[in-house]
């Protein structure tokens, strides 16, 4: 079945540092999404990518959809304590509604 | 506008018992999804309703799981009888498709943490 390999599994960084995480897949996706889950909450959409090569920003977040449609990265600049949480990548293929999720990257920010 | 709500937030049951999880989607959202995350693993799709109809149930693990959405509003997911491997966080999500295709945003509820002892 379709799988997304997400790395790293966890990260500990200092406040103010930049962070990068990525996802790869052997399958092609038409839409790529990045979600964040805060403790005790459900995942919340951060960025959605629809076109191969697309680079999109949302405040301090930047994400790119790989040219082959098989990978994506998410960058967070100048991290702050509220960036703590689990970040999930997810892919969606054309004609389907379900999301295929990665295993998540747990981010901890040290003040 | 209220988001997706789920009840209960936590459930601890013994192996062999029955548990029913409930999800109330965002008002007006025809699409409703169930997902599950087993500790440390990916969030896995279980099934998708469009109104009261099951559109895709390819992710349902086995026939111990029964999902319903009578009337096309809230949904229930029943596990009977529960097994140890059913433990995890069950998420519900809902969406309203954008015109022209399935490029939609799924809004997730806070999840129900199920522990089977």
Condensed to tens digits (0 to 9), the pLDDT of residues A69-108 reads 999 999 999 999 999 999 999 999 888 889 999 999 999 9
pLDDT over 50 (residue B102)? no
Q: Give residue-wise pLDDT tens across range A20-65.
A: 999 999 999 999 999 999 988 999 999 999 999 999 999 999 999 9
Burial grade of B94 (CB within 10 A; 0-12, 13-18, 19 or more): buried
SS3 of A9, please? coil
Token pair in block for residue A38: 């805060």
pLDDT band at B97 (very low <50, low <70, confident <90, very high): low
Which residues, in sequence order, are bridge partners of residue A4?
A: A25
Nearest C-alpha in A relative to B92? A42
Disruptive mutation site among B7, B21, B106, B109 for chain A (greatest number of A CBs within 10 Å): B106
Interface of chain A against chain B, CB under 8 Å?
Answer: 3-4, 31, 35, 40-45, 48, 50, 88, 90, 92, 94-104
State the pLDDT at residue A22: 96
Contacting residues for A52 by C-beta, under 8 A, at least 6 apart? A65, A66, A67, A68, A69
pLDDT band at B98 (very low <50, low <70, confident <90, very high): low
Task: Name which of B49, B70, B47, B75 is nearest B60 in CA terms.
Answer: B47
Query: Do residues A4 and B42 make contact, with C-beta atoms less than 8 angstroms apart?
Result: yes
The residue-averaged pLDDT of B92-102 equals 72
The residue-averaged pLDDT of B39-47 equals 93
Residues of B in contact with A99 (CB under 8 A): 35, 43, 45, 106
């Amino acid at each position: 079945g379709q799988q997304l390999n997400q790395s790293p599994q966890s990260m500990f960084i200092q406040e103010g540092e930049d962070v990068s995480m990525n996802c790869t897949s052997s399958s092609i996706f038409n839409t790529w999404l990045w979600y964040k889950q805060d403790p005790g909450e459900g995942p919340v959409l951060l960025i959605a990518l629809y076109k191969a090569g697309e680079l999109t920003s949302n405040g301090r977040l930047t994400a790119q959809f790989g040219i082959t449609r098989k990978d994506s990265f998410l960058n967070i600049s100048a991290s702050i304590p509220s960036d703590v949480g689990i970040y999930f990548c997810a892919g969606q293929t054309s004609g389907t509604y379900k999301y295929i999720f990665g295993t998540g990257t747990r981010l901890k920010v040290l003040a | 506008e209220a988001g997706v709500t789920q009840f209960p937030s936590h459930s601890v049951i013994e192996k062999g018992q029955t548990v029913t999880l409930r999800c109330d989607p965002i008002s007006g959202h025809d699409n409703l999804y169930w997902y599950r995350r087993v500790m440390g693993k990916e969030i896995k799709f279980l099934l998708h309703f469009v109104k009261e109809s099951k559109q895709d149930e390819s992710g349902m693990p086995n026939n111990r799981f029964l999902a319903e959405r009578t009337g096309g509003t809230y949904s229930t997911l029943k596990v009977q009888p529960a097994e140890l491997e059913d433990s995890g966080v069950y998420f519900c999500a809902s969406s309203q498709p954008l015109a022209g295709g399935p490029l939609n945003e799924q809004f997730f509820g806070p999840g129900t943490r199920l522990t089977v002892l």
